[in-house]
Amino acid sequence: MDLAPVLDGFAVVLEPTNLLYCLIGVVVGMLVGVLPGLGPAATIAILLPITIGIEPVTAIIMLAGIFYGAQYGGTITSVLLKLPGEASSVVTVFDGYAMARQGRAGTALGIAAIGSFAGGTISIVALSFLAPLVASFALDFGPPEYTALALLGILLVATVSSGSRLKAVVAAGVGLLLATVGRDGFTATERFTFGNLNLADGLDFVPIAMGLFGLGEILYNLEQRHNATQAPTTVANVWPSRQDLRQSSGAIGRGSVIGFFLGILPGGGATLSSLAAYAVEKRRSKTPERFGKGAVEGVAGPETANNAAATSSFIPLLTLGIPANATMAVIFGALLVVGVTPGPQLVTEEPELFWGVVNSMYIGNILLLIMSIPLVGLFVKILRVRPAILAPITVLITLIGVYTVNNSVFDIVLVIVFGVLGYLMKKAGFDPGPLLLAFVLGALLEDGLRRSLLIFDGDATGFFTRPISGTLLVVFLLVAVYPFVATLRNRRRQEQAQDTSDPNTKELV
């Protein structure tokens, strides 16, 4: 591996301006991330406008800061308020909230910060070596391979998203449809623009992400009215004791490995890895009864794992240009906006940008560790501000922020439309994640499909005659068909169970 671009990348990242932007990113990311109900995807979406108009490398570094800050913000609400910002910090609630109730919130947050740092860093080191290899492998990919890969990626994300799988696929379909709005790349025909000039260039990613995740979530919270769990006034002893550190060092090590490997998988890598890390810690522990009652390993393991996974999920994004989950879809869109096109060409053609992205993650991680410990007190204060006061501020940030991207009032209209759509989707049990992901991949998918058809001279079986696209499509079909098989098998098993068991159970069904 050629080390020169890596080191050059570091020199760029360490410039004072870039460090400052990264610092701002971490702090702002944490500030918005602690708002109850706003997970990393929502936080990054809301903050997208502030990265626009900055130099690409600086903007990427700021994004990395926002990303890590937002992740940690979710941890803070899990521990202090029992409100996980996203699925991957749900397990943190078990022991984190228990610790907070014992007055050890500081220790929980401190160990989470240290674990996140360790997991993230180990993951980035592994990524630095693995990503160029994967990218060089993917350089030979043609349109058929990309078509198959994008299809598989969308399906996997839909499969492991929270809630109904059928609804997730519907959401993905709507996302693909939205991506067709605007001028067709091949024939320059205007599609679904209804004569509106604002739509001729297609729908912009930023208002969709900000509306679906940001505004939709705020509208939904307006209705739900979280019951006011009071955050503690002060959080002491953020730096964990030596005993706590000793107790959780094993958990941090194992969490890093679990997180890294599960994170590469598309879909719920971070969520799955935090669950797996918790289960492993509990299984290995000599005193499993402490888990759920404030065991420090129960915070360290999952928090390490979810950060390691969040980091390694950058591998498919940076090397294949395929985002592995909703948060990565937002990052993907953000990178496009700042002028970076993730994909196999990135490493070879624009190494300074590629290593800029990777190295900014090192810096973001370090700054997160440095900032989180002194700033925890500040965030606790923010948590004590009533949600009723924070909500209109977030709305105004969103509405004014989206305007500043293109100086367009039409974008404000779009963000409101997608905010309402996001709210209605949540009410109707549709996860907006697959929609955004499919929207982001829509152009790539259609382009790949049409090019492939031209290559194959209209013969769709051509996809199966090429080894890589054929394999990917077979996996696609297996993943698509598996749920039906599983449902049938479950139903049969249930019927058998009912036949043999007490007839009373039948009434329950």
Partner 1 sequence: MSSARDGAHTPGSPGGRTAAGATPQGNVAPHPDDTAPAATDTPSTLHDLEDLAQEVEDDAEHRPPPAGPAANLVIAALVVALGAAAAVGALALGAGTARTPGPGLWPLLLGVLLVVLGLALAATARRTTDTEQFSRSSWLVLAGLATMLVFVALIGTIGFEIPAVLLAFVWLRFLGGESWRTSAIVSVAVVVAFYLVFVAALSVPVPHLF
Q: Which of residues 478-497 bind partner 1 (CB under 8 A)?
A: 483, 486-487, 490-491, 494
Q: Which residue has the tokens 């599983």?
A: 486
Residue 2: CB partners within 8 Å, gap ≥ 6? none
378 lines the binding site for partner 1 (CB under 8 A): no
Q: Is 229 or 341 the residue whose CB approaches partner 1 more closely? A: 229
Residues 361/311, Cβ–Cβ less than 8 Å: yes
Q: Write down the least CB distance from residue 407 to partner 1, Å.
A: 6
Q: Which of 2, 11, 225, 286 binds partner 1 (CB under 8 A)?
A: 225
Residue 378 tokens read as 């500040």
- What is the distance between the alpha carbons of residues 392 and 428, in angstroms, rounded to a whole number? 24
219 lines the binding site for partner 1 (CB under 8 A): yes
Residue 275: CB partners within 8 Å, gap ≥ 6? 91, 302
Identify which of 79, 90, 36, 27 has the alpha carbon closest to the alpha carbon of residue 232.
Answer: 79
Q: Write down the least CB distance from residue 489 to partner 1, Å.
A: 9
The H helix count followed by the E strand count for the chain is: 23, 2
Q: Which of 90, 151, 296, 322 binds partner 1 (CB under 8 A)?
A: 90
- What is the distance between the alpha carbons of residues 505 and 14, in angstroms, rounded to a whole number? 65
339 lines the binding site for partner 1 (CB under 8 A): no
Task: List phi, psi (to 5°) of 410.
Answer: -60, -35
Q: Write down the least CB distance from residue 370 to partner 1, Å.
A: 25
Tell me the per-residue interface mask from 47 to 86 with partner 1, x by CB under 8 A, - otherwise.
-----------------------------------xxx--
282 lines the binding site for partner 1 (CB under 8 A): yes
Q: Which residues between 425 and 484 bind partner 1 (CB under 8 A)?
A: 426-429, 446, 449-450, 453-454, 457-460, 483
Q: Write down the least CB distance from residue 381 to partner 1, Å.
A: 16
Q: Write down the least CB distance from residue 494 to partner 1, Å.
A: 7
400 lines the binding site for partner 1 (CB under 8 A): yes
Q: Which of 240, 268, 301, 343 binds partner 1 (CB under 8 A)?
A: 268
- In 81-226, where do the E strands start and end? 182-183, 190-191
Please choose, out of 6-14, 58-66, 187-195, 330-338, the segment that lies near partner 1 by the rule CB under 8 A. 187-195
Tell me the per-residue interface mask from 160 to 179 with partner 1, x by CB under 8 A, - otherwise.
x-xxxxxx-xx--xx-xx--
Residue 154 tokens read as 């969308």
Q: Write down the least CB distance from residue 124 to partner 1, Å.
A: 26
Identify which of 274, 246, 242, 237 has the alpha carbon closest to the alpha carbon of residue 258.
Answer: 274
- On the 0-12 / 13-18 / 19+ scale of CB atoms within 10 A, 484 is exposed
- What is the distance between the alpha carbons of residues 438 and 475, in angstroms, rounded to a whole number? 18
- What is the distance between the alpha carbons of residues 177 and 204, in angstroms, rounded to a whole number? 14
Task: List phi, psi (to 5°) of 183.
Answer: -75, 130
Q: Tell me the helix, strand and coil percentages in the chain, rounded to 5.
A: 75, 0, 20
Q: Is 348 or 501 the residue whose CB approaches partner 1 more closely? A: 501
Q: Write down the least CB distance from residue 208 to partner 1, Å.
A: 16
Query: What is the signed CA dihedral for 192, 195, 197, 200, rounded to 10 degrees?
Result: 30
Q: Write down the least CB distance from residue 26 to partner 1, Å.
A: 19
94 lines the binding site for partner 1 (CB under 8 A): yes
Please choose, out of 109-117, 118-126, 351-359, 380-388, the segment that lies near partner 1 by the rule CB under 8 A. 380-388
Q: Write down the least CB distance from residue 493 to partner 1, Å.
A: 10
Q: Is 81 or 361 the residue whose CB approaches partner 1 more closely? A: 81
The most distant pair of C-alpha atoms in the chain lies apart, rounded to whole Å, by 72
Q: Write down the least CB distance from residue 221 to partner 1, Å.
A: 9
* 3-class secondary-structure state, position 156: helix
Q: Write down the least CB distance from residue 305 to partner 1, Å.
A: 13
Specify which residues 183 forms β-bridges with.
190
Please choose, out of 25-33, 129-137, 221-229, 325-333, the segment that lies near partner 1 by the rule CB under 8 A. 221-229
Identify which of 129, 131, 111 has the alpha carbon closest to the alpha carbon of residue 119.
Answer: 111
* 3-class secondary-structure state, position 341: coil
Q: Write down the least CB distance from residue 206 to partner 1, Å.
A: 15
Q: Which residue has the tokens 């993730």?
A: 342
Residue 86 tokens read as 């996203």
227 lines the binding site for partner 1 (CB under 8 A): yes
Q: Which residues between 107 and 166 bind partner 1 (CB under 8 A)?
A: 159-160, 162-166
**Size (the chain), residues:** 509
Q: Which of 14, 15, 20, 101 binds partner 1 (CB under 8 A)?
A: 101
412 lines the binding site for partner 1 (CB under 8 A): yes
309 lines the binding site for partner 1 (CB under 8 A): no
